[in-house]
Structure 1
Amino acid sequence: MTDEIDHRFVEVNGVRLHVAEQGEGPLVLLLHGFPECWYSWRHQFGPLAAAGYRVVAPDQRGYARSEQPPDVDSYTLPHLVGDAIGLIRALGEEQAVVVGHDWGAPVAWAAAMMRPDVVRAVAGLSVPPALPAGTGSLPMSRQAYGDGFYQVVFQEEGRADAEFARDPAATFRRLLVGASGDNPANEKPGPWIVPEGGEVLAPYPEPGRLPGWLSERDVEVFVREYAGHGERAFTGGLNWYRNIQRNHELLTAFAGRGIEVPALYVGGDRDLVQAMRGVDLVLGALDRIAPRLHDSVVIEGCGHWTQQERPAEVNAALLDFLSALKP
């Protein structure tokens, strides 16, 4: 086993994906969220590889070093699940444990639901398995939170794209600190609401200082990883949100299906997702949605960036889960 993280490109479903890889053994596929990339798993590579696993974290389509298809409708959950399954095959494997955070979690849950023959176990960080569509519907979100709800605002092509790309370092600082457990406002987490006529990032001002888990070097890495897409640096990720309603419609055929494979959920009690409509009901029904649920872990004081904020607790939960799986 090498201590170095290797980087390369793999073509999957006609899209060139950048992947970071370390270790040998059973494959563990790590799927990041928004606005992140492979680097958000920097604390998981070493411990999982040392425990005897092949750890692979792609930049998912539209993100960082990976290719950004131009059409908005190229970012549906079926596309994203197809990338995950295709990547497992392209890596020469028949099966994998799939772990997802934020947007990566709906991809992981949906992949486990659709292809339990390939996804032998699944873990979701922050976002629980709100199946079948994974993210609800836009009319429901608008009714619950109004037109200022960030997922509704993101539907306007170009608005958040331009604001986020204007100063990527500030964007990463404001989002990563603002949605973290270190933001005092998240002691009682609430949804991200954009003020009428205000900037999208208004709820998350520039922090006076960074928390211990996030350094200026970390911010610089995220900025560098996103630099290749220029003014469209965040557009690929935002296009995932622009398919929420389409996902809801495409996946209605799977209504009633649950998770058949072993499953794990890990979240933070200061995560804005915990405050979103219906999440408490989903968490209360996890053992019915996923009858082979291994554990549901809620980390006190942790915000949205689960594996970055609390790597020790997340790694312990993942290793405990992985060790309980049959070969």
Structure 2
Amino acid sequence: MFKENGEYKVMSNGLSHWVKVEGRERDTMPIVVIHGGPGGNHYVFERTAGSMIAKERTIIYYEQRGCGRTDKPEDDGDYRIADLVEDFKGLHRLLGWEKVDLLGYSFGAELALEIAYTLPNTVNRLVLSAPSMMQSPLQKLVQISGFVSVGAP
């Protein structure tokens, strides 16, 4: 499906997900980037480290349900890790590659671990950057404060 660089909207697990492909002309095993959050997006990563990675590799971004340019589920209870893994499973089917590398940062690193555990035959390599479960107590407090500020009415 993703034969050319560009932005796509694809259906996975009943929601339209934003996907961006760069470096497709490299024809390498793709590295799928999983953003932090919950509630994050790829706005900064795709303009910084992502553009450098795309010079060497096929890179695929997708934004998780309710994040960035991806649709939000109707039920606020539909943000379980199992839902996010199912979303990835649907995306992986559309990619057309048997295996992919995963690069997850912050919460995305934790999600990458969940995906690799649940779907071991689809993951070639993992790159984990600052999994939030490994943060110091101060970093966790800052992150929780950020979540509260985003979720406040």
**TM-score range normalised by the length of the shorter chain:** 0.7 to 0.9
Deviation at 1:190, TM superposition (A): 5.0
Name the structure 1 match of 2:33: 30
Q: Is the 8 A contact 2:42 2:63 kept in 1?
A: yes
Q: Is the 8 A contact 2:18 2:62 kept in 1?
A: yes
Partner AA of 1:14 in structure 2 = G
Q: Is the 8 A contact 1:30 1:41 kept in 2?
A: no
RMSD: 2.9
1:125 matches 2:129: yes
CA distance in 1, matches of 2:120, 2:82: 15
2:121 aligned counterpart, secondary structure: coil
Q: Is the 8 A contact 1:20 1:38 kept in 2?
A: no
> In structure 2, which of residues 128, 135, 141 is the aligned counterpart of residue 192 of structure 1?
141
1:44 matches 2:61: no
1:285-296 correspondence to structure 2 within 5 Å: none
Deviation at 1:85, TM superposition (A): 2.2
Q: Is the 8 A contact 1:31 1:99 kept in 2?
A: yes
Larger radius of gyration, structure 1 or 2?
A: 1
CA distance in 1, matches of 2:139, 2:18: 34
Name the structure 2 match of 1:99: 103
Q: Is the 8 A contact 2:132 2:140 kept in 1?
A: no
CA distance in 1, matches of 2:132, 2:126: 11
TM-score by length of 2: 0.78
The 1:79–1:47 alpha-carbon spacing in structure 2 relative to 1, beyond 3 Å, is same
1:38 aligned counterpart, secondary structure: coil
Partner AA of 2:54 in structure 1 = A
Q: Is the 8 A contact 2:106 2:132 kept in 1?
A: no
1:50 aligned counterpart, secondary structure: coil
CA distance in 2, matches of 1:190, 1:17: 29
Deviation at 1:9, TM superposition (A): 0.5
Name the structure 2 match of 1:160: none
1:192 aligned counterpart, secondary structure: helix
Deviation at 1:120, TM superposition (A): 1.2
The 1:8–1:189 alpha-carbon spacing in structure 2 relative to 1, beyond 3 Å, is same
More relative contact order, 1 or 2 (CA 8 Å, 6+ apart)? 2
- Deviation string for 1:137-191 (max 9, x for gaps)? xxxxxxxxxxxxxxxxxxxxxxxxxxxxxxxxxxxxxxxxxxxxxxxxx9x9454
Would you tell me which structure has more strand in proportion to its own residues?
2
The 1:48–1:190 alpha-carbon spacing in structure 2 relative to 1, beyond 3 Å, is closer
1:164-183 correspondence to structure 2 within 5 Å: none
> In structure 2, which of residues 83, 88, 91 is the aligned counterpart of residue 84 of structure 1?
88
CA distance in 1, matches of 2:8, 2:139: 39
Q: Is the 8 A contact 2:12 2:90 kept in 1?
A: yes
CA distance in 2, matches of 1:29, 1:191: 25
Deviation at 1:72, TM superposition (A): 2.2
CA distance in 1, matches of 2:63, 2:35: 7
Q: Is the 8 A contact 1:41 1:57 kept in 2?
A: no
Partner AA of 2:32 in structure 1 = L
2:18 aligned counterpart, secondary structure: strand
Deviation at 1:50, TM superposition (A): 1.4
The 1:129–1:96 alpha-carbon spacing in structure 2 relative to 1, beyond 3 Å, is farther
CA distance in 2, matches of 1:191, 1:41: 21
CA distance in 2, matches of 1:190, 1:115: 30
1:121 aligned counterpart, secondary structure: strand
